[in-house]
Amino acid sequence: MAVVTGASSGIGAATAVRLAAEGFQVVAAARRRDRLDALAAEHDAITAVTLDVTDDASVAALAAELPDVALLVNNAGGAFGLADVASSEVSDWQRMYDVNVLGAVRMVKALLPALAAGAGGHVVFTGSIAGHTPYEKGGGYVAAKHAEAALSQMLRLELNGRPVRVSEVAPGMVRTEEFSLVRFGGDRERADAVYQGVSQPLLAEDVADVIAWVATRPAHVDIDLVVVKPLAQAAPHKVHREG
Ligand SMILES: NC(=O)c1ccc[n+]([C@@H]2O[C@H](COP(=O)([O-])OP(=O)(O)OC[C@H]3O[C@@H](n4cnc5c(N)ncnc54)[C@H](OP(=O)(O)O)[C@@H]3O)[C@@H](O)[C@H]2O)c1
């Protein structure tokens, strides 16, 4: 059984579909149940479960239903705002820390007994290049994704000797339907400008492909970190744009 958080759109939805194609039974979890139900209706191996990773009771309810988990993909997350530190909103930093970092901590704490049981398990974080290279105005998102990368590294150290692999997949620019729209509070023009002139940003399926590869290595092979960017992006702040 694989659990994918943030599976109602973008990378999480593509990962749920890809893992189902790889033969996993997949629990697709997020807040928007209608989207999860639509995904589950199209794929027999996908089950929809409502989950808010910022809510202890919601995470506990999910864990109570799942005695057997082989793979947890901590993917729920996102950015709110793009502002320098001096003018950023503390509340945005708090929300980003809660969903990207504490959400993953809640999931790991709740599912670790199931992941460490039997043949063992695997925790994969959807991090970001923002978690490895700071960029101006990245603010709370850069900080939260750095914390998520640190969480992945700490967990690997702490679980050493137990049958649980820990991996991080850190994408660069991925053109998903909602990521930039959420970041800019629904401002379509600002969201579209992120990808303007970039010939081929990554797609959600490209990242799902990497997550599936990481998750399907033999049990003794632990991929620590995969950084994946579109060809046009040399670094978070260095993107080739046409025209
Ligand atoms: N797009 C990029 O350029 C990019 C690059 C690097 C890394 N990433 C990372 O990749 C992950 C997925 O991003 P994406 O591009 O696929 O964005 P997205 O389409 O906005 O997906 C975010 C997902 O997280 C879910 N989510 C948000 N808050 C949640 C909560 N409290 N509880 C449960 N689920 C929650 C959303 O579903 P609900 O609203 O239905 O809950 C949605 O399914 C994020 O961690 C993001 O930081 C994205």
CB 22 within 8 A of CB 216: yes
- Between the CA of residue 110 and those of 61, 106, 122, 149, what are the distances in Å? 10, 6, 14, 19
Is 198 close to ligand 1, i.e. is its CB under 6 Å away?
Answer: no
Domain count, the chain: 1
Structure tokens, 156: 């690997």
Sole residue written with tokens 């989207």: 35
Q: Is 67 helix (H, G, I), strand (E, B) or coil?
A: coil
The preferred substitution site among 4, 31, 151, 175 for testing ligand 1, maximizing ligand atoms within 8 Å of CB, is: 31
CB 161 within 8 A of CB 144: no
Angle between helices 103-116 and 56-65 (to 10 degrees): 20
The preferred substitution site among 9, 36, 72 for testing ligand 1, maximizing ligand atoms within 8 Å of CB, is: 9
Is 227 close to ligand 1, i.e. is its CB under 6 Å away?
Answer: no
Q: How far is CA 236 from the centre of its chain?
A: 17
Instruction: Write the residue with the smallest CA distance to atom 10 of ligand 1.
Output: 126
Domain extent at residue 135: 2-239
CATH of the domain at 181: 3.40.50.720
Is 169 close to ligand 1, i.e. is its CB under 6 Å away?
Answer: no
- Residue 141 bears catalytic tag: yes
Give the number of other Cβ atoms within 10 Å of residue 85's Cβ.
13
DSSP-derived letter for residue 129 is G
* 152 burial via Cβ count (<10 Å: 0-12, 13-18, 19+): buried
Is 179 close to ligand 1, i.e. is its CB under 6 Å away?
Answer: yes
The predicted structure's pLDDT at residue 118? 84
Taking the CA of residue 141 as reference, the ligand 1 atom at the shortest distance is: 47
Q: Is 238 helix (H, G, I), strand (E, B) or coil?
A: strand
The predicted structure's pLDDT at residue 67? 83
Sole residue written with tokens 């189902």: 20
CB 63 within 8 A of CB 41: no
Structure tokens, 204: 């959600």
pLDDT, averaged in runs of 10, over the chain (243 residues): 98 98 98 98 98 98 94 98 97 98 98 93 98 97 98 98 98 96 96 96 98 98 98 96 92
